[in-house]
Amino acid sequence: MQTSNTKTGFFARAVLPCLLAVAASLIAWFQLELSDAVTLPYLLGQLPVFALLNALTACCLTALLYLFTGRWHISTGAAGAVWTILAIVNYYTRDLHGSAVMPQDVLNMGTAAEVMGSYTLHVDAKVVCIALLYLPVLAIAFWQARLTRRGGAKPGWKARGRRALGCAVYLFAVLYFGYFSPWPVMPRAPYGWNWQPTYYTCGYLAGTVRATALLADPVIRPDGNVEQDAADALAQLDAASPATGESAAGDYPDIVLILSESFYDISLVTDPQADVDYLSNLHGIGNSIQGHTVSPHVGGGTNHSEYEMLTSNSLMLAPAVTPFNWLKLDGAESIVSHLEDLGYATLAAHPYTGSNYNRDSAWQALGFDETHFAEDFPTRETYGDRPYQTDSATYRDLEALYEAMPADQPRFAFLVSIQTHGDYDMNPPELDLVHAATDYGRYDGEVDEYLSCIYLSDQAIGELCNYFARQYEQTGRRVIVCLAGDHAPSFVDHIADHDGIADSDLWLLERSTPYFIWANYPLEGAGSQNQADPYNRMDLCDLAPTLFQTAGLPLPDYYRYILQMKQQILVQTGGCDYMDATGTLRAYGSSPEDDRLLRGYFALEYQNLTVGRGN
């Protein structure tokens, strides 16, 4: 009888509290998946293997806390609070920024705090649900406290040793067999074109552990024989593909490249029935090439778009990092290095702090001759109560910086604007310049303010082009202006027509931001349109090579290959699929022959990322 009571007591005091800790961690798994907007099919697909793996991973924090406190109820309650807070932060981050809270954000906390500080956080039903799920965790902690009540005697060294050994064995078993053994539960290389499939298929915490492991070596080696694929890619370059442009050496045009904050046309995904044509200048620009570039993210991730624009490197090979914080940029092959090889003077500017995305050091590493931040933008003009400098003021300040550049060299000026940064409920309604007639519910006010910002950006585009047109008349300097949006606004998926647009089409449309290439002299190819794609889309990685080709500049082999590939593959980083020359979406990895061009591109990119500048 005493033996039976002893066994019952051991189970109640030692085993059951452990099982309850795992049960609380299952709640943490559900909270985090809820915060990540995981749909029911994905959620069911995680059961039971990945759901349990995520729960056991969450329980690692509980085990660590138990190691130091020796109290199950304190450990469970504290760990549950951490996961609840993380889930709420992740929900808002994903909703406003377009991606989950990931380990790469550790070095970007300052930028994240600045960004989040500009948004108004709405407490909706999902946030309330995540918060209320902490109540059963507290109930579990209370139950554990009742089960493990003991007298005032402190545990001896043997008991503490057993506790430490048990926690260590648990942590090792979960991490080794779950992630780092030769045959882990979590696939070793689950990342594809973006973070969502991994996080949705395998769970938030499992995806985060794998993403954390990638930070040690953030560049993923493509499958196959990379060296041979790279050599084959260069050997396949069409002999007719020009290695040099039409401009005579030393007679290169000036280039102004602009990454425009949240510059997007919401009519791609919904009909706002606006009372003003908010893109009249863009649509009316003559002597230009126009279309849409496909950005890596929706609602945020400016640095990802910026990196792809400047380097032509797809972030498929570095999907788990913020590029300027984690990738080696010293001597990196980029539009900056190529233009400086041609004798260009180079400048980069942003009307905000240099610490934002680590631009102050990243731009210097890329080789810009001069960099300028908020203190060099003296106009200080804003729109209503919004704290960001308007594009009109930013362009006027940029014009002054441009004029101060060396007159005896061709000039390259790169600008990241900020006017249209979120949030979009900073101004009172009477300051709205554009009004949408479509009912968007709680997003009505945000849509009107956003469209008003886009209207001002569009007006500023007209002003900028007029300025450079006058420059040609007054000085004879030829200038090409290229502008592309970095991503759609954070609310775009909430107002998109999910019933009228197929999911695969919507995925691309939400990432298709307007671009144009305009010159103050006759531009060859102006008005060209891809008949296979009415949106005239190309990847952001294609923009710099296209700009070089349009400007008549000598083309590095990497750009030549991208331009040749572009004839067959219109979009190469638009999700798990790529778009071929007929406008058809194809799944990468399903056909070795269809993937041949992309394999060559990734092999060349990998060499650029790991070896350094190539030709």
Q: Residue 341 corresponds to which amino acid?
A: D
| Identity of residue 507 | W
How far apart (Å, rounded) are the C-alpha atoms in residues 323 and 426?
Answer: 30
In this predicted structure, what is the pLDDT of residue 615? 38
pLDDT at position 587 is: 77
Token code pair at residue 133: 């799920």
pLDDT at res. 614: 42
Q: What is the pLDDT of residue 158?
A: 82
φ and ψ at 129, to 5 degrees? -60, -45
Predicted pLDDT of residue 7 = 56
Q: Which residues of 301-320 are buried (b: 16+ CB within 10 A; e: fewer)?
A: bbbbbbbbbbbbbbbbbbbb
**Backbone torsions φ then ψ of 594, nearest 5 degrees:** -65, -30
Residues 6 or more apart whose CB falls under 8 angstroms from that of 366 comprise: 310, 329, 332, 334, 336, 337, 348
What is the helix (H) or strand (E) element at residue 320, kind and residue range?
Answer: none
Please state, in angstroms and rounded to a whole number, the distance separating the CA atoms of residues 497 and 508: 13
Measured between alpha carbons, how far is 193 from 198 in angstroms, rounded to an integer? 10
Q: pTM of the entire structure?
A: 0.88
- Residue in this structure with the two tokens 């790529």, named with its chain if needed: 578
pLDDT at 344: 97
With 0-12 CB in 10 A as exposed, 13-18 as middle and 19+ as buried, what is 429?
exposed
Q: Specify the DSSP element, H or E, that contains 481.
A: strand 479-485
The Cα–Cα gap between 275 and 485 comes to: 23
Long-range contact set of residues 91-95: C-beta below 8 Å, sequence gap at least 24: 91/34, 91/35, 91/36, 91/126, 91/127, 91/130, 92/116, 92/119, 92/121, 92/127, 94/35, 94/36, 94/37, 95/299, 95/490
As given in the structure block, the two tokens for residue 314 are 């797809």
Say what the pLDDT of residue 297 is: 84
Strand duo 585-587 + 577-580: pairing: antiparallel
In the chain, the domains with their CATH numbers are: 2-215 (no CATH), 249-555 (3.40.720.10)
pLDDT score, position 96? 77
Max CA pair span of the chain: 104
The pLDDT of residue 201 is 87
Say how far apart CA 244 and CA 234 lie, in whole Å.
16
How far is C-alpha 261 from the chain's CA centre?
13
Rounded Cα gap, residues 287 and 549, in angstroms? 16
- Pairing, β 569-571 against β 577-580: antiparallel
* The residue type at 236: Q
According to DSSP, the β-strands at 512-519 and 345-349 are unpaired
Residues 202-259 pLDDT 10s: 999 998 898 888 777 888 888 889 999 999 999 988 665 555 555 555 689 999 999 9
- Residue 368's identity, in one-letter code, is F
pLDDT < 50 regions, the chain: 1-2, 613-615
